[in-house]
């Protein structure tokens, strides 16, 4: 069975449909039903409970968990894949026992409503929030992050309702089972791996912060700073001369080593010292460090 592309998955989520997302066979090796949280309905919750059979969870961004004041379930996470469960939640008003499909749908709707405050939810409850890692699947290739990423890519708030798919006998559904399930229920099916590729191909994951003139004994360089939008790390680049896209340019990727860069005598003989690189770039007429 040919899997669906991430673009096809996003289109269905945008329309309020459910999809199936699989992770790698060497990870959890499972498939989850995923639906954009802001489009959830009692009927969708009932479908997940009846046919998915796993634990119905709500993926939330780190920021949203902070806004709702949702603490993690444990401070010392020893789970195999360190899934970030927060305390369980329930809508403070409008529910009965909290477990019905309508009650759980309402709890989800309250949690993702931008107007909701922490007081609009109570703990514990029958919905289990999962806090996604900043950077999404580019940081952690899990269903929690996939749920947030896909919902956001579909133009919704970065939150999804997810549930693991179990077979009739209670065992985990694997790829062959999931393909049958997808066909039986007319659901599109994709992978986290394809979502990662989609994001890398379609997103700019680095942004320029600043640029300044940087005179040195090897000539006038430009010092440019960039920030990785995935992990917020800052990277520096020294450029010399006129850099043209259609011309060969010397490029040196240098691992920061403050002590070694200052005291070049402690650097391994096989490593280039920064001054040597800058001198080489000057002699070439242009380059990037």
Other CB atoms within 10 A of residue 233 CB: 10
Rounded Cα distance between 81 and 78, Å, is 8
**207 touches 222 (CB < 8 A):** no
Rounded Cα distance between 213 and 238, Å, is 10
* Interacting residues of 143 by C-beta distance below 8 A, sequence separation 6+: 21, 23, 28, 30, 32, 34, 59, 162, 192
Rounded Cα distance between 122 and 104, Å, is 13
Rounded Cα distance between 197 and 217, Å, is 43
Token pair of 187, please? 């659901």
Rounded Cα distance between 44 and 41, Å, is 5
Q: What pLDDT was estimated at residue 274?
A: 82
User: What interhelical angle do 6-14 and 192-202 show, nearest 10?
Assistant: 90
Q: Which fold has domain 6-202?
A: DHBP synthase (3.90.870)
Q: What pLDDT was estimated at residue 228?
A: 87
Q: What pLDDT was estimated at residue 261?
A: 57
Per-residue pLDDT of the chain in tens (289 residues, 90 and over written 9)? 899 999 999 999 999 999 999 998 776 679 999 999 999 999 999 999 999 999 999 999 999 999 999 999 998 888 887 899 999 999 999 999 999 999 999 999 999 999 999 999 999 999 999 999 999 999 999 999 999 999 999 999 999 999 999 999 999 999 999 999 999 999 999 999 999 999 999 988 888 999 999 999 999 999 999 998 888 889 999 999 898 888 898 898 887 766 555 555 455 555 677 888 888 899 999 999 8
For the chain, the maximum distance between any two Cα atoms, rounded to a whole number of angstroms, is: 77
Q: Is the dihedral of CA 102, 108, 109, 110 positive or negative?
A: positive
Q: What pLDDT was estimated at residue 44?
A: 99
**Which residue ranges make up each domain of the chain?**
6-202, 206-288
Q: What pLDDT was estimated at residue 271?
A: 63
Q: What pLDDT was estimated at residue 115?
A: 98
Rounded Cα distance between 250 and 29, Å, is 43
Q: What pLDDT was estimated at residue 143?
A: 96
What is the pTM (predicted TM-score) of this model?
0.83
What are the DSSP calls for 133-165, one per residue?
PTTGGGT--SHHHHHHHHHHHTTS-S-EEEEEB
Q: Which fold has domain 206-288?
A: Rossmann fold (3.40.50)
């Amino acid at each position: 069975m040919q899997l669906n592309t991430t673009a096809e998955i996003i289109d269905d989520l945008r329309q309020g449909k459910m999809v199936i997302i699989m992770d790698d066979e060497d990870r959890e090796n499972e498939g989850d039903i995923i639906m954009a949280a802001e489009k959830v309905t009692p009927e969708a919750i009932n479908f997940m409970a009846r046919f998915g059979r796993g634990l119905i969870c709500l993926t939330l961004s780190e920021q949203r968990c902070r806004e709702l004041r949702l603490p993690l379930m444990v401070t010392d996470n020893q789970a195999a894949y360190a899934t970030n469960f927060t305390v369980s939640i329930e809508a403070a008003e409008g529910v009965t026992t909290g477990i019905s499909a309508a009650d759980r749908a309402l709890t989800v709707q309250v949690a993702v409503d931008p107007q909701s405050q922490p007081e609009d939810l109570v703990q514990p409850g029958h919905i289990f929030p999962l806090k996604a890692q900043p950077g999404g699947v580019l940081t952690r290739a899990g269903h929690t992050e996939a749920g947030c990423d896909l919902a956001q890519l579909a133009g919704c708030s970065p939150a999804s309702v997810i549930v693991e798919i179990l077979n009739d006998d209670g065992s985990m559904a694997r790829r062959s089972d999931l393909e049958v399930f997808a066909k039986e229920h007319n659901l599109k099916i994709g992978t986290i791996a394809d979502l990662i590729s989609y994001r890398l191909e379609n997103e700019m994951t680095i942004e320029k912060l600043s640029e300044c003139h940087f005179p040195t004994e090897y000539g006038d360089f430009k010092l440019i700073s960039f920030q990785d939008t995935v992990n917020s790390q800052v990277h520096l680049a020294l450029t010399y001369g006129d850099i043209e896209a259609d011309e060969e340019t010397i490029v040196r990727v240098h691992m920061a080593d403050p002590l070694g860069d200052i005291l070049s005598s402690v650097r391994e003989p096989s490593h280039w010292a920064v001054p040597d690189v800058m001198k080489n770039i000057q002699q070439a007429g242009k380059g990037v460090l």
